[in-house]
Amino acid sequence: MKSFEYSNALSSESAVSLLGKQGRYLGGGIDLLGEMKEYIVSPSRLVNVKDLPNTRDITKTAEGFRLGTNVRVAEIAAHPEIQQGLAALAEAAAEVGSPQIRNVATLGGNLAQHSRCWYYRQRDLVCLKRGGNTCYGREGQNKYLSIFSGNPCVSPAVSNLAVALAALDARVVVWRDGKESKLTIGELYEDAWKNPSVHNSLRPSDLILAVEVPTSAGKSAYLQMSEKSDFDWALVSCAVSGKVTDGKISGARIVLGAVAPVPFVVEKANQFLEGKVLDDKSATAAADLILQEATPLAQNGYKVPIARALIRRALARLNA
């Protein structure tokens, strides 16, 4: 790890001012410090944003909840009202890492984390995402990589919370250009779909302040499949939400994780379910619509049947 300066920010304005051209924000720090130790990134300054006012609070609002960027993932998983009203979010949080990691990892850090692709994390390689010319994953070890991509890079987005928040129609509050801006989860990640060199749509000086999550989405659920039962990344994850009345679903949202550079949504599938009786037949048809354009690589075709099963099982939980 190269030497760096360290500064404490006490406001959004001071955080941006302290950042400079080569600085990075430091929240929970798990992902960033790992990259620094491997010399993947070498910022000249770390700006501590853990003490920004009102960023450690979970606040009930008229529409739902506002969660500060420095709220710990463990707090989200254990919050009784989130468990009841935003089940997908609590379930996704409970799957993040280990208890030790959840106790220090933050909401903002989980959303802004970078690629877990082996080739990106290999400090002796310069892959496409790090400014090189080649996505080594396409022809190399691609068991854990994307089955959908809008660009040559097949590194997937792996944030559990992003998948759940996308299904819940959340808004991410970002300090940008001297004011608060609100982005959907789709907007937060959309640049990664078309640009192989980025992980999300955040600019270098953008700072996540909070996430606003409405409770109007109805019931929700999150499921993931991993190789290990605990302390493991998802091979595939799925979050769903919707309102079921007299057996029929409205406002359905299905989001897949770990299969694309973004939390993956196919609006055609959501529209297909509108007003349908929610049963295994309609759930399977929706899954087929989502997966019909999947392009698995040599070692990750298994993700397609896993995704299909998770979609069916998650939707079935809305009927429970």
Place 185 in a pLDDT band, splitting at 50, 70 and 90. very high
Q: Calculate what percentage of the chain has a pLDDT beyond 70.
A: 100
Q: Mean of the pLDDT values across residues 226-243?
A: 95
Q: Calculate what percentage of the chain has a pLDDT beyond 90.
A: 95
Place 266 in a pLDDT band, splitting at 50, 70 and 90. very high
Backbone φ and ψ for 302, nearest 5 degrees, come out as -60, -20
Per-domain residue ranges of the chain: 1-52, 219-317
pTM, two decimal places: 0.96
Q: Mean of the pLDDT values across residues 223-237?
A: 94
Helix (H, G, I), strand (E, B) or coil at 248: strand
Check residue 46 and give its pLDDT: 97
Q: Do 22 and 45 contact (CB within 8 A), yes or no?
A: yes
Check residue 177 and give its pLDDT: 95
Angle at 313 between CA 165 and CA 274, to 5 degrees: 65
Which residues have a Cβ under 8 Å from the Cβ of 224 and sit 6 or more positions away? 92, 95, 160, 234, 235, 236, 237, 238, 257, 258, 310
Q: Which of 263, 4, 41 is nearest to 130 (CA)?
A: 41
Place 310 in a pLDDT band, splitting at 50, 70 and 90. very high
Q: State yes or no: pLDDT of 29 exceeds 80.
A: no
Q: Supply 6's token pair.
A: 């360290």
Check residue 14 and give its pLDDT: 96
Q: State yes or no: pLDDT of 253 exceeds 90.
A: yes
Mean model confidence pLDDT for the chain = 96
More confident residue, 279 or 320: 279
Architecture of the domain whose range is 219-317? 2-Layer Sandwich (3.30)
Name the residue with tokens 């996308």: 166
The CATH number that domain 1-52 falls under is 3.30.43.10
Check residue 30 and give its pLDDT: 76
